[in-house]
């Protein structure tokens, strides 16, 4: 049985206690800290920006995994590097020049991630699969936490696993949206490497125990 990387999503945290929430993650078995940036254009919601991200990454001792749900992400890549992002993930649907965007992110010293909405086919990754460090499959429509996991995602994960293995790509498969302790095993068995979890972690009675449960 393989052990997944766990990436708690700060979107579900209590923002009045944000320092304590980051320390909780620091002192947990989590591997990455997932930061969701929404612009109100690419997705029908607005989350947080640099005034939140910069102090959070200063406090964080985990890999800072920034998920951009924004139009024109190339305009902000440098600012996110300066704000402490280690992994910068852009949506394929928001990029006219994805290959260039990936090279830009890497040239800024970050790992490059590519995210796919639920309707987007894994086959579109064929020509950049060896360039990307992370592929993030959205298992809900992006914009909000606390939604239900879309079952079709299992098929997408299996297809992506095949594509990655056949190409010799080292990309990690990250699953984002509706991940629970109950469905984690099935997601991993389909071929995922990284599990994002917002409400499952932060709304639980013992978030650190829940992170451990997700890892097992
Ligand atoms: C949704 C975000 C997710 C979200 C996941 O647009 O990309 O990262 O925080 O939240 P849960 O785990 O509650 O579905
Ligand atoms: Zn996310």
- pLDDT, residue 2, reads 83
11: CA distance to ligand 1 center in Å? 7
Catalytic residue (choose from 31, 65, 133, 176): 176
Look at residue 53 and tell me whether its pLDDT is greater than 90: yes
Eight-class DSSP state of 120: S
36 carries an active-site annotation: yes
pLDDT tens for each residue of 67-115: 999 999 999 999 999 999 999 999 999 999 999 999 999 999 999 999 9
- Which has the closest alpha carbon to 66: 107, 102, 111? 111
* Count of C-beta atoms within a 10 Å radius of residue 64: 22
Q: Whose CA is nearest to atom 4 of ligand 1?
A: 145
Is the Cβ atom of 176 under 6 angstroms away from ligand 1? yes
> Considering the chain, what is the average pLDDT of its residues?
98
Nearest CA among 164, 170, 115, 103 for reference residue 143? 115
ipTM score over 0.85, yes or no:
yes
Q: How far is Cα 205 from Cα 69, in angstroms, rounded to an integer? A: 29
Distance 44 CA to ligand 2 centre (A): 14
Q: Which domains does the chain have, with CATH numbers?
A: 5-215 (3.20.20.70)
DSSP characters over 62-97: SEEEEEEE-SSGGGTHHHHHHTT-SEEEEEGGG-SS
Per-residue CA distances from 10 to 35, 100, 210 (Å): 6, 29, 15
Q: Was 198 annotated as part of a binding site?
A: no
Sign of CA dihedral 21, 22, 24, 29: positive
97 touches 77 (CB < 8 A):
no
CA distances from 107 to 18, 68, 81, 164, 177 (A): 31, 18, 10, 23, 29
145 is in an annotated binding site: yes
The verdict on whether 165 is a catalytic residue reads: no
pLDDT exceeds cutoff 80 at 1: no
CA–CA dist 77, 115 (Å, integer): 15
Question: Distances in Å between the alpha carbon of 92 and those of 37, 98, 136, 157?
Answer: 15, 7, 10, 16
Query: What is the rounded (10 degree) CA torsion for 99, 137, 50, 78?
Result: -10
pLDDT in tens, 29-41: 999 999 999 999 9
């Amino acid at each position: 049985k393989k052990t997944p990387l766990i990436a708690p999503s700060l979107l579900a945290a209590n923002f009045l206690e944000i320092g304590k929430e980051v320390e909780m993650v620091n002192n947990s078995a989590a591997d990455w800290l997932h930061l969701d940036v929404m612009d109100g254009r690419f997705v029908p919601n607005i989350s947080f920006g640099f005034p939140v991200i910069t102090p959070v990454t200063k406090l964080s001792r985990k890999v800072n995994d920034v998920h951009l749900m924004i139009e024109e992400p190339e305009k902000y890549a440098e600012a996110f590097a300066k704000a402490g992002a280690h992994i910068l993930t852009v949506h394929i649907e928001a990029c006219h020049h994805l290959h260039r965007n990936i090279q830009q992110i890497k040239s800024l010293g970050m790992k490059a991630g590519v995210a796919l909405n639920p309707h987007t086919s894994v086959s579109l990754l064929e020509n950049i699969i060896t360039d990307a460090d992370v592929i993030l499959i959205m298992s809900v429509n992006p914009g909000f936490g606390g939604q239900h996991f879309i079952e079709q995602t299992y098929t997408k994960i299996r297809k992506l696993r095949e594509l990655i293995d056949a190409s010799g790509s080292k990309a990690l498969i990250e699953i984002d949206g509706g991940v629970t302790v109950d469905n984690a095993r099935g997601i991993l068995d389909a071929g995922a490497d990284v599990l994002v979890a917002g409400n499952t972690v932060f709304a639980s009675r013992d978030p650190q125990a829940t992170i451990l449960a997700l890892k097992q």
